[in-house]
Structure 1
C-alpha cells in the first residue's frame, strides 16, 4: 500500500535530514523561486527556523499552514516554505484571471511536474507530450455512454474476481482499499488498454504498484533539498521499482502497440467499436512525431493509469467510508433513488447514471471533505506577469490557491465540518434552470469547488471518474450491506505534504443483501 511505507520512510528521512542539516549552512529562509518579500510569510512554527524544519512542518501540517494563511489573508496573498522553495498563495478574487493566463506564461503542467518530481518519477513526459489530454477530451469523454455496457461487464467480472465471497447470513471481513484498488485498475484499464489487457495480472500489478512506489519516492525525496535528491534517489528501492514498472509496461504493451502502429487508420471521428474503442487504439491513431513510438505510448498509458486508478481509488474508498459512517437514512435515500429509476417507465438504461442526483451529491460532498490534494490552480510562472490589480508575479514563481480552505470556508459551505451527503442535491433541486443547477454536480467546476481545476485546464477525466464511481456504487448499494467493525469508525485521512490519502488499513464488514436484485 502507498501509505504503509510512508511512516518508516518519513522517520528515516527525518533522521537523515537532521544529520545533514546539522553540518549545513543552508538554514536561512530563502525565496529562491522569485517570490518577493512583500508577501506575508505564514508558518505554524518560528518562521526563521532552518528550512528543513519548515519543510518538515509543511510535510506534517500543510493543512494547518494553509488554513492559518487563508484565515489571516483571505483577500490577499501570502507565502509559505517547503523544501522546493517558497510557494505563493493567491486569493480567490484572481481565479478568473489566473485561469485565463496562457500556459506559456503560467504553466499548470510544469507546476504538476515540479510537485511530482517528474525527472525522478518519469512524469516529466507530461511536459513533452499532451496527446493524452487531447485523447481524453476528444475520444474518451464523448464516448462514455457508448462504453457503459463494456464497463458494466468489466465491473461484474472485477467484483467476482476481487470482492470477497459473501452470503446473506454472515458478515465477512475485508479491506476496501485493497479490494477497490484492483477493481479501479480493472475498470480504468478497460478504457485505457482494452478488454484483454485490462484483466492481465501484470498490467494490474503495474497500475497499482507503480502508484505506490511513485508516491513513496516523492514523499521521501521532498524531505531533502533539491541538490541532494540525485544522490538520495539512488538509494531508494521505490525509485528503482518505479522505473522497473514502467519498463514492464513497455514490454507488455510493445507488441500490441507495434501492431496498431502498422495498421492503416480506418476509423471515422465518431465511430465506435467496443473492441477497439480504448485509449491504446486512439493513441496509435493520433500519435505523431516523437509520440509515435511504442515506448512513448506505453509510458503515456502508465501515466494515465496513475492519474485515473489512484484518484478513483481514493474517491471510491472515501465514499464507502462516508456512506457507512453517515447511517441508514442516507443509505436508504440512495437505494430508493436507484429503485425509482429502475422501476420507471424506461427502466435502467445507459443514461440512468446521469439521473442519480443524490449519489452524485454524495460523491461531491465526500470529495469536499477528502480531496486528493489541499491546493489547486497550481502554476509555475515562466515569465513575469502583472495581474490587473497590479500584483507582479516574477518569473520562476510557483503559485497556487488554497482550494481545500476555500471550499470549506463557512462563507461558501454551511457547517463545513459536517458531512452532509445531500447538500449538493438540495442545491441542485432548488434551481429550475438546468445550466445554473449544474454547478452543484460532482463534475462541475464552480469557483468555490476547485478540486477538478477551473477553466480550460480543468481535469478532462472527471467525467470518466464520476461515471465509474457511480457504476461501482450502484452495484454495491443494491447488492451488499456494509458496516465498520465493532469499536471502530470512519478513519481520519492521512495528509503528507499537500497530498491527502484515505486510511488504507481500515477493515470493514460486508454481507450480501437478502433478496438482492442486480441492477447492472
Structure 2
C-alpha cells in the first residue's frame, strides 16, 4: 500500500515546477504592459504633485528598472544614510532602497510620527515581504497577526509577571539546550557562534510559545530557523520582479516553494496538539473535572481570538519569526562584544554570582543584573538590527510640521543616527559596557538607561505604539541564557575569525559565521538548584 504523502510534499507537488509550460497570450502581455505604464505614470504624477525630499542616490539615466541603484544601495546603505544625514543637516531626504523609495527623517521627527494612525507599520512589512502571496502570510496584517500583537502586549507580559515561577522551566530548558549544543567536555573545542545561539534561542522561545510537547521537536526547530531564512531570500528574489508579475512568478521560484512547504509542515505539527487539547477539555467537561489550562502561546492565542477564526500555523510562524532571529542577532553580537574584553567578562560573572547567590531566580534577580543590562543596551546602541527605525507606509497624505509631505503609499523611516551623536553619547564610536550603568546611577536618568526603554535617542526597539512588544521577554530570555553560558563555559574568539558586522541594505547583522572556542567550567552556583 502506498504511503500517504506529507503535507510538505503536497505543498510542493501540487505546483508547477518550471516555466517551460507557462505562456502568456499577447493580450495578457498587453495588460501587463499597461499596468507597468500606469505604475510609471503614477510615480511621475506623485513626484510632480509633491515636492519629495531630494534623493541622496538618484539613479543613472539609463537605469530604467532601478536595478543598478538598488544593488548599490544594498552594498553601501550605511554610507548613504550617513551621507544623507550630513549633507541635509538633519532635514528630510530620500533614498532608493532595495524595497523602493524611502523618505528618511531625522530622530527629531520621532515624537511627531510615532503614534500617527495614518502611518502603517503592518502595511510596511506587508509591502516588503509580499504578504499577499501564499506562504508569506506571517508578514501580513491578517487576524492571526492581530492576535499575535495582542498576545505579545498582554499575555506575554502577564507571563513575565508570574516570575519566578516561569523562570524555572525556562532555566531548565536553557540548561538542556546548552548541554545539547555545547556538551560537557572540559577540553577546548571550536563551534560556530551564530549556529549555536540560534539553536539555543529557538529551543527557549519554543518552550514558551508551544510548551513541552513541541519545544524539542527537531522538525519544528528546523522550521523556526529555515522559514525566516527562506522567506527573506524569497522576498529578495521577488523584489527584482515587477509587482504585476509576482503573483505568477512566485509559483515557480524554489525559495517560494520552500516557504509554502514550511507553512504546510507547521500546520501538520501544530494542529494535532490543538486537537489533542480540545479533546482533553471536552473530556474534562463531560467528566465534571476542571478544564485543563496551558500557559503557552497556543492557549494565549485561543484566549485572545475570542472565538474568532485565525490560522494557528501563521500565528506561530509569525511569533517565531519575530522573536527568534532578532534575539539570536542580539545575543550573538553581545558575546562578540564581551569576549575581547576579559575584564568585562569577569565583572559580569561576578555580578551573576552575587545576584543569584543572594536572590536565586527571584523576580528581582533579572532586574538586578544591571551591568548585563547595560552591556546589552550598549550592544544594541552600537549595532541595532537595522540602520533605520519606525519604518512605515502612509495610508493617507501626511503633512509634517516642517512642511514635509509624505504622500499616500510612500515609505518613510527614521535614520537611526542618534546612536552616534556626540551631543547625546560621550565617545559614541567606542563600546563602553558601563555606559548605561553609569546613566542608571544618574538622578533623573535612571529609567532611560534600561535596556527595554525606548526614546528618540534609543530606537533599537522602535518607539511609540509600535515599539517591539516582545522586548521585555527578549530581555529576560537573554539574561537567563547568558547566566548559563558565562557561568558554565569558558569562551574565547578563534584567532582570525571574522566578527565584523554584515551590512545588507538597511539590515545590520551580527556575524554568525564567527567561530569561538569553548570548554566546560565548574560554575560557582548550581543554577538548576536555585
Same fold (TM over 0.5): yes
Cross-structure match for 1:220: 237
Query: How far is the alpha carbon of 1:285 from its aligned partner?
Result: 2.3
Task: Go from structure 1 to structure 2 and tell me whether the alpha carbon gap of 1:228 and 1:67 turns closer, same or farther (over 3 Å shift).
Answer: farther
**Secondary structure of residue in 2 paired with 1:410:** coil
Provide Cα deviations, 1:78-137, integer angstroms capped at 9, x if missing partner: 0011344311112222211201211xx211111122122323422343344411111111
Deviations 1:200-245 (A, max 9, x none): 1121111111111111112322344434544543443221111111
Greater mean alpha carbon deviation, residues 152-161 or residues 112-121:
112-121
Question: Distance between the aligned counterparts of 2:201 and 2:499, measured in 1?
Answer: 21
Q: Structure 1 residue 44: deviation in Å? A: 8.5
Match of 1:6 in 2: none
1:496 alignment counterpart: 504
Aligned to 2:403, the other structure's residue is in SS state coil
* 2:443 is equivalent to residue 437 of structure 1: no
Change (3 A) 1:194 1:53: same
Matched position secondary structure for 1:87: strand
Indicate which of 249, 254, 264 corresponds to 1:237: 254
Contact 1:311 1:372 in 2 (8 A): yes
Equivalent residue in structure 2 for 1:248, among 245, 256, 265: 265
Q: Is the 8 A contact 1:34 1:396 kept in 2?
A: no
Listed as ranges, the matches of 1:377-396 within 5 Å are 377-396=390-409
User: Which of 335, 341, 344 is the aligned partner of 2:349?
Assistant: 335
Question: Residues 332, 32 of structure 1: CA spacing in aligned structure 2 closer, same or farther, 3 A cutoff?
Answer: farther
Matched, 1:115 2:119: no
C-alpha distance in 2, partners of 1:385/1:127?
Answer: 25
1:142 maps to 2:158: yes
- Residue of 356, 370, 385 corresponding to 1:372: 385
Answer whether contact 1:185 1:207 (CA < 8 A) is retained. Answer: yes
Query: Which of 79, 88, 91 in structure 2 is aligned with 1:76?
Result: 91
Q: Distance in 2 between matches of 1:426 and 1:124?
A: 39
In structure 1, list runs of 5 or more residues that go unmatched.
1-23, 267-272
Report the counterpart of residue 332 of structure 2 in structure 1: 317
Partner in structure 2 of residue 277 of structure 1: 295
Deviation at 1:512, TM superposition (A): 1.8
Question: Partner of 2:367: helix, strand, or coil?
Answer: helix
**Which whole-Å CA distance do the structure 2 matches of 1:91 and 1:151 have between them?**
40
1:418 deviation in Å?
Answer: 1.7
Name 1:155's counterpart in structure 2. 174
TM-score in terms of structure 2 length: 0.83
Distance 1:430 1:61, change over 3 A: same
Q: How many angstroms apart in 2 are the aligned matches of 1:357 and 1:33?
A: 54
Residue 91 of structure 2 aligns to a residue whose secondary structure is coil
* Gaps in structure 2 of 5+ consecutive residues: 1-32, 285-290
The CA distance in 2 between the partners of 1:192 and 1:213, in whole Å, is 21
Work out the CA distance in 2 between the residues paired with 1:493 and 1:457.
Answer: 26
8 A contact 1:177–1:504 mirrored in 2: yes
Aligned length: 476
Change (3 A) 1:430 1:75: same
| Equivalences for residues 348-427 of structure 1 within 5 A | 348-403=361-416, 405-427=417-439
Could you say which residue in structure 2 is the equivalent of 1:132?
148
Corresponding position: 1:258 with 2:275: yes
Shift of the alpha carbon at 1:504?
2.1
Q: Distance in 2 between matches of 1:194 and 1:358?
A: 31
Whether the 8 Å contact between 1:84 and 1:225 is mirrored in structure 2 is no
Q: C-alpha separation between the residues in 1 aligned to 2:460 and 2:46? A: 26
- Any idea what the Cα deviations from partners look like across 1:482-516, whole Å, max 9, x if unmatched? 1112333x511212121222222222101122565
Native 8 Å contact 2:168 2:361 kept in 1? no
Contact (CA 8 Å) 2:293, 2:299: kept in 1 or not? Answer: no
Residue 328 of structure 1, CA deviation: 1.0
User: Per the alignment, in what secondary structure is the counterpart of residue 354 of structure 1?
Assistant: coil
CA distance in 1, matches of 2:272, 2:478: 31
CA contact (8 A) 1:342 1:348 kept: yes
Q: SS of the counterpart of 2:511?
A: coil
Q: Distance in 1 between matches of 2:300 and 2:277?
A: 10
Q: Which residues of 2 match residues 82-121 of structure 1 at below 5 A?
A: 82-102=97-117, 105-120=118-133, 121=136
| Aligned partners of 2:98 and 2:505 also within 8 Å | no
- Which secondary structure state, in structure 1, belongs to the residue aligned with residue 57 of structure 2? coil
User: RMSD in angstroms over aligned alpha carbons?
Assistant: 2.7
Decide which structure has the larger Cα Rg and report it.
2
Whether the aligned pair in 2 keeps the contact of 1:195 and 1:275 (CA below 8 Å) is no
Aligned position for 2:29: none
Distance in 1, matches of 2:485 and 2:352, equals 12
Selected match of 1:178 from 195, 219, 236:
195
1:7 is matched with which residue? Answer: none
Say if 2:120 and 2:392, in contact at 8 Å, map to a contact too.
yes
- Give deviations 1:63-85, integer Å, cap 9, x for gaps: 11111111122431100113443
Show the 5 A alignment for 1:300-311: 300-311=315-326
**Are the aligned partners of 1:155 and 1:183 in contact in 2 as well (CA < 8 Å)?**
yes
Q: From the superposition, tell whether residues 370 and 48 of structure 1 become closer, same or farther in structure 2 (CA, over 3 Å).
A: farther
